Amino acid sequence: MDAGFPVLRLRRLRTSAAMRALVREVDLTAAHLIYPLFLVPGHGVREAIPSLPGQFHLSPDQAAWEAANAVADGITSFLIFGRPGPGGKNERGSGAWDPDGAAQQGVRAIKDRVPDALVAADVCLCAYTTSGHCGVVRAGTVAVDNDATLPLLAETATSLAQAGADVVAPSDIMDGRVGAIRTALDQAGLEETAILSYAAKFASQFYGPFRDAEDSAPVTGDRRSYQLDGGNLRQALLEVTLDLQEGADMVMVKPALAYLDVIAAVRQRCNAPIVAYNVSGEYAMVEAAAQRGWADGVTMAIEVLRSIRRAGADAIITYHARQVARYLG
């Protein structure tokens, strides 16, 4: 056993900023952060998203501009979400794989403007289907048809990779989609495109502000027949194992804050990079407190993000990314 007090005084390790930095076990830098961008069709569009204060709906040209500014702040990675224009939804969600969709155009515009930035693109159908579900629904029901959805996801991932996405990130939670996407990418000669699978994605109240932003809430029913039940840690580990077997390069745990134990458990068992999603509801909690003057938003965000790193995440998707990057300098 080490010596105790008064020979040992741990406060000596906290005496200055330099000392604290020297002995800090887990670091948080802008390079660990992935900044989500919400693409909409059009040109010159930059509209505040009411449910996500500080975030914007951006047309592809504006997204490229936003990305360039974020890169100047130290951000190196982005996650792209798209949505169709008015009247653009249908049963199969075909807007998701439109080569000229807002997401595809946004990926192209961003890669053009900041070629060194890493661009990941979310792969899902919920913003594009009339049902608001993440897959195709069997006629007259709210049951999502797993196997009928797989080729549509593969097509969506391929179109985003062809637009230049470095990473495709399926968030739908159908069984077998990672394998289906890997096969489709390889057949299209896109073997260098990486897959970040939303492996342990739990059904959550914390997605509310995002669904407002994306207009992607299910019209009827909910997502509990495909997203994981919050009581299940072992099942989350099985999902991670299966996705890695199917060819995922990185795995995600989502949400982050209420699932730090899941991040820690995945870290113990797997050697693949782990990405945690600090989701919209987690952002909303911090921003709402900050707006009321109840807390300092950016330092509170850093504390949250550091907890996610400490739990074992390599990278974190967060709406605070730019704010935090600027603060960290």
- Give the residues lining the site for ligand PBG (CB under 6 A): 122, 124, 126, 134, 171, 207, 210-211, 223, 279-280
Q: Which of 28, 55, 51, 24 is nearest to 39 (CA)?
A: 55
Shortest distance in whole angstroms from residue 91 CB to ligand PBG: 17
Annotated catalytic residue 89: no
Burial class (CB in 10 A: 0-12, 13-18, 19+), 145: middle
Shortest distance in whole angstroms from residue 18 CB to ligand PBG: 36
Helix, strand, or coil (residue 155): helix
- In the complex, what is the shortest distance from the CB of residue 38 to ligand PBG, in angstroms, rounded to a whole number? 10
Tell me whether residue 120 or residue 325 sits nearer to ligand PBG (CB atom): 120
**What's the min distance (Å) between Cβ of 217 and ligand PBG?**
7
Which CB atom, from 126 or from 240, has the smaller least distance to ligand PBG? 126
The residue from 89, 201, 320, 322 that is catalytic is: 201
Closest to ligand PBG by CB, 113 vs 211, is 211
Exposure letters 35-72 (e unless 16+ CB within 10 A, then b): bbbbbbbbeebeeebebbeebbbbbbbbbbbbbeebbe
Phi, psi torsion values for 53, nearest 5 degrees: -55, 130
- Pairing between strand 250-254 and 118-123? unpaired
Which residue out of 177, 223, 254, 320 is catalytically annotated? 254
Q: Give the 3-state secondary structure of residue 144.
A: strand
* Residue listed under structure tokens 């949250």: 304
Q: Is 201 annotated as catalytic?
A: yes
Percentage helix, strand, coil, to 5, in the chain? 45, 15, 40
Q: Report the residue number, 61 or 212, with the smaller CB distance to ligand PBG.
A: 212
Tell me the catalytic residues.
201, 254
